[in-house]
Protein backbone atom coordinates (compact mmCIF):
# COMPACT_ATOMS: atom_id res chain seq x y z
CA UNK A 1 0.00 0.00 0.00
CA UNK A 2 1.48 3.31 -0.97
CA UNK A 3 1.42 6.34 1.25
CA UNK A 4 -1.09 8.21 -0.86
CA UNK A 5 -3.65 5.42 -0.88
CA UNK A 6 -3.85 5.97 2.85
CA UNK A 7 -6.31 8.78 2.39
CA UNK A 8 -8.68 6.70 0.33
CA UNK A 9 -8.83 3.77 2.69
CA UNK A 10 -12.10 3.29 4.50
CA UNK A 11 -12.59 4.18 8.13
CA UNK A 12 -12.51 0.50 9.08
CA UNK A 13 -9.12 0.04 7.44
CA UNK A 14 -7.75 3.11 9.18
CA UNK A 15 -8.99 1.73 12.49
CA UNK A 16 -7.36 -1.65 11.99
CA UNK A 17 -4.09 0.00 10.98
CA UNK A 18 -4.06 2.28 13.98
CA UNK A 19 -4.75 -0.68 16.25
CA UNK A 20 -1.53 -2.28 15.06
CA UNK A 21 0.47 0.73 16.21
CA UNK A 22 1.24 -0.35 19.77
CA UNK A 23 2.39 -3.73 18.55
CA UNK A 24 4.55 -2.23 15.85
CA UNK A 25 6.12 0.24 18.23
CA UNK A 26 7.01 -2.59 20.61
CA UNK A 27 8.45 -4.72 17.83
CA UNK A 28 10.64 -1.94 16.51
CA UNK A 29 11.45 -0.47 19.90
CA UNK A 30 15.17 -0.86 19.33
CA UNK A 31 15.19 0.66 15.86
CA UNK A 32 16.76 4.04 15.93
CA UNK A 33 19.92 5.93 15.36
CA UNK A 34 21.51 4.61 18.54
CA UNK A 35 21.48 1.00 17.36
CA UNK A 36 24.92 -0.19 16.35
CA UNK A 37 24.74 -2.03 13.08
CA UNK A 38 26.28 -5.52 13.26
CA UNK A 39 26.70 -7.13 9.85
CA UNK A 40 24.65 -10.32 9.34
CA UNK A 41 23.12 -10.09 12.81
CA UNK A 42 20.99 -6.97 12.77
CA UNK A 43 18.70 -5.99 9.93
CA UNK A 44 19.89 -3.01 7.93
CA UNK A 45 17.84 0.10 8.45
CA UNK A 46 15.26 0.38 5.69
CA UNK A 47 13.13 3.27 4.55
CA UNK A 48 10.08 1.02 4.91
CA UNK A 49 10.27 1.30 8.69
CA UNK A 50 10.05 5.09 8.59
CA UNK A 51 7.36 5.12 5.93
CA UNK A 52 5.40 2.76 8.16
CA UNK A 53 5.81 5.16 11.10
CA UNK A 54 4.46 7.96 8.94
CA UNK A 55 1.56 5.79 7.86
CA UNK A 56 0.77 4.82 11.43
CA UNK A 57 1.02 8.43 12.53
CA UNK A 58 -1.57 9.46 9.96
CA UNK A 59 -3.92 6.57 10.75
CA UNK A 60 -3.69 7.24 14.49
CA UNK A 61 -4.41 10.93 14.01
CA UNK A 62 -7.39 10.02 11.88
CA UNK A 63 -8.80 7.57 14.39
CA UNK A 64 -8.14 9.96 17.29
CA UNK A 65 -5.49 7.85 19.00
CA UNK A 66 -3.34 10.85 19.87
CA UNK A 67 -1.06 9.06 22.32
CA UNK A 68 0.08 6.45 19.81
CA UNK A 69 0.43 9.16 17.18
CA UNK A 70 2.70 11.09 19.51
CA UNK A 71 4.85 7.99 20.04
CA UNK A 72 5.24 7.59 16.29
CA UNK A 73 6.12 11.24 15.91
CA UNK A 74 8.71 10.99 18.68
CA UNK A 75 10.33 8.06 16.87
CA UNK A 76 10.55 10.12 13.70
CA UNK A 77 11.97 13.13 15.55
CA UNK A 78 14.55 10.90 17.27
CA UNK A 79 15.68 9.56 13.92
CA UNK A 80 15.60 12.59 11.67
CA UNK A 81 15.82 15.48 14.10
CA UNK A 82 13.25 18.14 14.83
CA UNK A 83 14.57 20.39 12.08
CA UNK A 84 13.96 17.95 9.24
CA UNK A 85 11.47 19.57 6.86
CA UNK A 86 9.27 16.54 6.47
CA UNK A 87 9.23 15.89 10.21
CA UNK A 88 8.34 19.53 10.81
CA UNK A 89 5.39 19.12 8.48
CA UNK A 90 4.24 15.99 10.30
CA UNK A 91 4.65 17.70 13.65
CA UNK A 92 2.44 20.52 12.42
CA UNK A 93 -0.11 17.97 11.27
CA UNK A 94 -0.14 16.46 14.77
CA UNK A 95 -0.58 19.87 16.39
CA UNK A 96 -3.44 20.72 14.05
CA UNK A 97 -5.14 17.44 14.84
CA UNK A 98 -4.94 17.80 18.61
CA UNK A 99 -5.82 21.53 18.63
CA UNK A 100 -8.85 22.03 20.84
CA UNK A 101 -10.23 25.31 19.50
CA UNK A 102 -9.63 28.04 16.95
CA UNK A 103 -7.21 29.86 19.24
CA UNK A 104 -4.97 26.79 19.33
CA UNK A 105 -5.14 26.58 15.54
CA UNK A 106 -4.15 30.24 15.31
CA UNK A 107 -1.11 29.47 17.45
CA UNK A 108 -0.17 26.61 15.09
CA UNK A 109 -0.56 28.99 12.18
CA UNK A 110 1.70 31.52 13.89
CA UNK A 111 4.29 28.82 14.40
CA UNK A 112 4.19 28.01 10.70
CA UNK A 113 4.69 31.68 9.91
CA UNK A 114 7.74 31.79 12.18
CA UNK A 115 9.25 28.70 10.56
CA UNK A 116 8.64 30.11 7.10
CA UNK A 117 10.11 33.48 8.04
CA UNK A 118 13.40 31.71 8.74
CA UNK A 119 13.26 29.23 5.88
CA UNK A 120 11.03 30.34 3.05
CA UNK A 121 11.48 27.19 0.96
CA UNK A 122 10.38 24.71 3.60
CA UNK A 123 7.80 23.07 1.33
CA UNK A 124 6.11 20.63 3.74
CA UNK A 125 5.46 23.39 6.29
CA UNK A 126 4.34 25.82 3.56
CA UNK A 127 1.86 23.21 2.37
CA UNK A 128 0.59 22.62 5.90
CA UNK A 129 0.10 26.35 6.32
CA UNK A 130 -1.94 26.50 3.12
CA UNK A 131 -4.00 23.49 4.14
CA UNK A 132 -4.67 25.08 7.53
CA UNK A 133 -5.68 28.39 5.95
CA UNK A 134 -8.09 26.51 3.73
CA UNK A 135 -9.41 24.56 6.66
CA UNK A 136 -10.08 27.86 8.47
CA UNK A 137 -12.03 28.99 5.34
CA UNK A 138 -9.51 31.74 4.58
CA UNK A 139 -9.43 30.67 0.97
CA UNK A 140 -8.11 33.89 -0.54
CA UNK A 141 -5.10 33.85 1.74
CA UNK A 142 -4.55 30.19 0.90
CA UNK A 143 -4.59 30.99 -2.82
CA UNK A 144 -2.11 33.83 -2.33
CA UNK A 145 0.24 31.61 -0.33
CA UNK A 146 -0.04 28.82 -2.85
CA UNK A 147 0.74 31.04 -5.83
CA UNK A 148 3.78 32.27 -3.92
CA UNK A 149 4.87 28.67 -3.30
CA UNK A 150 4.43 27.91 -6.99
CA UNK A 151 6.59 30.89 -7.90
CA UNK A 152 9.51 29.18 -6.20
CA UNK A 153 8.69 25.61 -7.31
CA UNK A 154 6.74 25.73 -10.56
CA UNK A 155 7.02 21.97 -11.17
CA UNK A 156 5.25 20.92 -7.98
CA UNK A 157 2.21 19.28 -9.56
CA UNK A 158 0.62 18.43 -6.22
CA UNK A 159 0.51 22.16 -5.48
CA UNK A 160 -0.88 22.95 -8.95
CA UNK A 161 -3.74 20.47 -8.46
CA UNK A 162 -4.48 21.91 -5.04
CA UNK A 163 -4.53 25.42 -6.49
CA UNK A 164 -6.91 24.27 -9.20
CA UNK A 165 -9.16 22.80 -6.53
CA UNK A 166 -9.05 26.07 -4.56
CA UNK A 167 -9.95 28.11 -7.64
CA UNK A 168 -12.74 25.70 -8.43
CA UNK A 169 -14.16 26.19 -4.92
CA UNK A 170 -14.27 29.93 -5.72
CA UNK A 171 -15.94 29.29 -9.11
CA UNK A 172 -12.93 30.72 -10.93
CA UNK A 173 -13.08 28.23 -13.78
CA UNK A 174 -10.51 29.63 -16.26
CA UNK A 175 -7.88 29.72 -13.50
CA UNK A 176 -8.72 26.17 -12.42
CA UNK A 177 -8.40 24.99 -16.02
CA UNK A 178 -5.04 26.74 -16.37
CA UNK A 179 -3.68 25.02 -13.23
CA UNK A 180 -4.70 21.60 -14.47
CA UNK A 181 -3.09 22.32 -17.83
CA UNK A 182 0.13 23.10 -15.94
CA UNK A 183 -0.13 19.70 -14.27
CA UNK A 184 -0.53 18.06 -17.67
CA UNK A 185 2.64 19.77 -18.87
CA UNK A 186 4.59 17.88 -16.22
CA UNK A 187 2.54 14.66 -16.29
CA UNK A 188 1.03 14.45 -19.79
CA UNK A 189 -0.06 10.83 -19.33
CA UNK A 190 -2.04 11.35 -16.12
CA UNK A 191 -5.39 10.01 -17.28
CA UNK A 192 -7.20 11.03 -14.11
CA UNK A 193 -6.03 14.64 -14.50
CA UNK A 194 -7.31 14.65 -18.10
CA UNK A 195 -10.67 13.47 -16.80
CA UNK A 196 -10.62 16.03 -14.01
CA UNK A 197 -9.85 18.80 -16.48
CA UNK A 198 -12.79 17.59 -18.55
CA UNK A 199 -15.00 17.76 -15.47
CA UNK A 200 -13.90 21.32 -14.66
CA UNK A 201 -14.55 22.37 -18.26
CA UNK A 202 -17.97 20.73 -18.15
CA UNK A 203 -18.88 22.52 -14.91
CA UNK A 204 -17.66 25.81 -16.35
CA UNK A 205 -19.77 25.24 -19.47
CA UNK A 206 -22.81 24.61 -17.28
CA UNK A 207 -22.20 27.80 -15.30
CA UNK A 208 -20.84 30.02 -18.04
CA UNK A 209 -22.51 32.17 -20.61
CA UNK A 210 -24.14 30.83 -23.76
CA UNK A 211 -21.47 31.96 -26.19
CA UNK A 212 -18.57 30.04 -24.72
CA UNK A 213 -20.56 26.97 -23.75
CA UNK A 214 -20.09 25.16 -27.03
CA UNK A 215 -16.35 25.63 -27.03
CA UNK A 216 -15.98 24.53 -23.39
CA UNK A 217 -18.07 21.44 -24.03
CA UNK A 218 -16.04 20.51 -27.10
CA UNK A 219 -12.84 20.97 -25.12
CA UNK A 220 -14.24 18.87 -22.27
CA UNK A 221 -15.21 16.12 -24.71
CA UNK A 222 -11.65 16.15 -26.09
CA UNK A 223 -10.19 15.82 -22.59
CA UNK A 224 -12.48 12.91 -21.74
CA UNK A 225 -11.55 11.24 -25.04
CA UNK A 226 -7.88 11.58 -24.15
CA UNK A 227 -8.45 10.05 -20.72
CA UNK A 228 -10.16 6.97 -22.16
CA UNK A 229 -7.44 6.76 -24.78
CA UNK A 230 -4.83 6.61 -22.02
CA UNK A 231 -6.71 4.14 -19.83
CA UNK A 232 -8.73 1.13 -20.96
CA UNK A 233 -12.35 1.00 -19.77
CA UNK A 234 -11.95 4.15 -17.68
CA UNK A 235 -15.38 4.57 -16.13
CA UNK A 236 -14.84 8.19 -15.10
CA UNK A 237 -13.77 9.19 -18.60
CA UNK A 238 -16.68 7.47 -20.34
CA UNK A 239 -19.11 8.89 -17.78
CA UNK A 240 -17.88 12.40 -18.52
CA UNK A 241 -17.90 11.81 -22.26
CA UNK A 242 -21.49 10.59 -22.13
CA UNK A 243 -22.59 13.52 -19.99
CA UNK A 244 -20.83 16.05 -22.23
CA UNK A 245 -22.01 14.59 -25.52
CA UNK A 246 -25.58 14.30 -24.19
CA UNK A 247 -25.48 17.97 -23.37
CA UNK A 248 -24.00 18.90 -26.74
CA UNK A 249 -26.67 16.95 -28.58
CA UNK A 250 -29.50 18.43 -26.54
CA UNK A 251 -28.34 22.04 -26.95
CA UNK A 252 -27.48 21.72 -30.59
CA UNK A 253 -29.56 18.89 -32.09
CA UNK A 254 -30.19 20.32 -35.54
CA UNK A 255 -26.74 21.33 -36.53
CA UNK A 256 -26.71 20.74 -40.25
CA UNK A 257 -22.97 20.95 -40.71
CA UNK A 258 -21.51 17.66 -41.89
CA UNK A 259 -18.13 16.26 -40.98
CA UNK A 260 -16.48 17.79 -44.02
CA UNK A 261 -17.34 21.37 -43.19
CA UNK A 262 -15.39 21.94 -40.03
CA UNK A 263 -15.12 25.65 -39.48
CA UNK A 264 -11.52 26.74 -39.30
CA UNK A 265 -10.67 29.23 -36.62
CA UNK A 266 -7.78 31.62 -37.12
CA UNK A 267 -6.63 32.18 -33.58
CA UNK A 268 -5.33 28.65 -33.09
CA UNK A 269 -8.30 27.37 -31.15
CA UNK A 270 -9.74 24.02 -31.98
CA UNK A 271 -13.08 24.12 -33.80
CA UNK A 272 -16.37 23.01 -32.29
CA UNK A 273 -17.02 19.34 -32.90
CA UNK A 274 -19.44 18.46 -35.73
CA UNK A 275 -22.70 16.87 -34.60
CA UNK A 276 -22.06 13.60 -36.45
CA UNK A 277 -18.85 13.11 -34.49
CA UNK A 278 -20.55 13.97 -31.22
CA UNK A 279 -23.31 11.48 -31.95
CA UNK A 280 -20.81 8.73 -32.61
CA UNK A 281 -18.87 9.58 -29.46
CA UNK A 282 -22.12 9.46 -27.52
CA UNK A 283 -22.98 6.04 -28.91
CA UNK A 284 -19.52 4.74 -28.12
CA UNK A 285 -19.64 6.10 -24.56
CA UNK A 286 -23.09 4.60 -23.97
CA UNK A 287 -21.94 1.25 -25.29
CA UNK A 288 -18.80 1.27 -23.16
CA UNK A 289 -20.61 2.37 -20.00
CA UNK A 290 -23.14 -0.43 -20.42
CA UNK A 291 -20.32 -2.90 -20.94
CA UNK A 292 -18.37 -1.72 -17.90
CA UNK A 293 -21.40 -1.77 -15.61
CA UNK A 294 -22.29 -5.26 -16.84
CA UNK A 295 -18.84 -6.78 -16.42
CA UNK A 296 -17.83 -4.96 -13.27
CA UNK A 297 -16.78 -7.15 -10.36
CA UNK A 298 -16.81 -6.53 -6.65
CA UNK A 299 -13.39 -4.87 -6.63
CA UNK A 300 -14.73 -1.82 -8.47
CA UNK A 301 -16.15 1.14 -6.67
CA UNK A 302 -19.83 0.37 -6.16
CA UNK A 303 -20.87 4.01 -6.00
CA UNK A 304 -19.23 4.74 -9.37
CA UNK A 305 -20.96 1.80 -11.01
CA UNK A 306 -24.34 2.83 -9.60
CA UNK A 307 -23.86 6.40 -10.83
CA UNK A 308 -23.08 5.09 -14.32
CA UNK A 309 -26.19 2.88 -14.29
CA UNK A 310 -28.25 5.87 -13.19
CA UNK A 311 -26.95 7.98 -16.05
CA UNK A 312 -27.72 5.25 -18.58
CA UNK A 313 -31.26 4.83 -17.25
CA UNK A 314 -31.90 8.56 -17.35
CA UNK A 315 -30.73 8.91 -20.95
CA UNK A 316 -32.83 5.96 -22.15
CA UNK A 317 -35.89 7.44 -20.44
CA UNK A 318 -35.28 10.75 -22.17
CA UNK A 319 -35.05 9.00 -25.52
CA UNK A 320 -38.34 7.17 -24.95
CA UNK A 321 -40.18 10.38 -24.17
Site residues, other proteins (CB under 8 A):
1-9, 11, 14-15, 58, 61-64, 89, 93, 96-97, 99, 123-124, 127-128, 130-131, 134-135, 157-159, 161-162, 183, 187, 189-193, 196, 229-234, 299-300
- For residue 274, count other CB atoms closer than 10 A to its CB: 18
DSSP letters, 63-79, are HT-HHHHHHHHHHHHHH
Return d(Cα 242, Cα 30) in angstroms, integer.
Answer: 57
- Measured from the CB atom, the residue of 135 and 258 that comes closer to other proteins is 135
Return d(Cα 204, Cα 255) in angstroms, integer.
Answer: 23
Q: How far from 255 is each of 79, 107, 206, CA to CA, in Å?
A: 67, 60, 20
- Nearest-approach distance from CB 56 to other proteins, in angstroms: 14
- Measured from the CB atom, the residue of 54 and 255 that comes closer to other proteins is 54
- Nearest-approach distance from CB 41 to other proteins, in angstroms: 33
Report yes or no: 89 and 131 within 8 Å, Cβ to Cβ.
no
- Measured from the CB atom, the residue of 97 and 249 that comes closer to other proteins is 97
- Nearest-approach distance from CB 162 to other proteins, in angstroms: 5
Q: H or E element: which one contains 187?
A: none
Return d(Cα 279, Cα 133) in angstroms, integer.
Answer: 45
- Measured from the CB atom, the residue of 137 and 313 that comes closer to other proteins is 137
Closest CA relative to residue 89, chosen from 101, 73, 78: 73
- Nearest-approach distance from CB 93 to other proteins, in angstroms: 6
- Measured from the CB atom, the residue of 144 and 269 that comes closer to other proteins is 144
- Nearest-approach distance from CB 222 to other proteins, in angstroms: 17
Amino acid sequence: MSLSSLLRQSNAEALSLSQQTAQYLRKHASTGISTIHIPFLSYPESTDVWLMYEKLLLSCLRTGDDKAAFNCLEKLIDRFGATNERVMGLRGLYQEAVAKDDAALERVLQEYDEVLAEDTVNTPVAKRRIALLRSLSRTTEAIDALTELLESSPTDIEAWTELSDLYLSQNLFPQAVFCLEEVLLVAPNAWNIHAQLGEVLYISAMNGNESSEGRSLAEAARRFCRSVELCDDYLRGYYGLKLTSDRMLSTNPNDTRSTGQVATVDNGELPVLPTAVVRRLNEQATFKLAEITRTSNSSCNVADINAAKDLLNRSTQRKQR
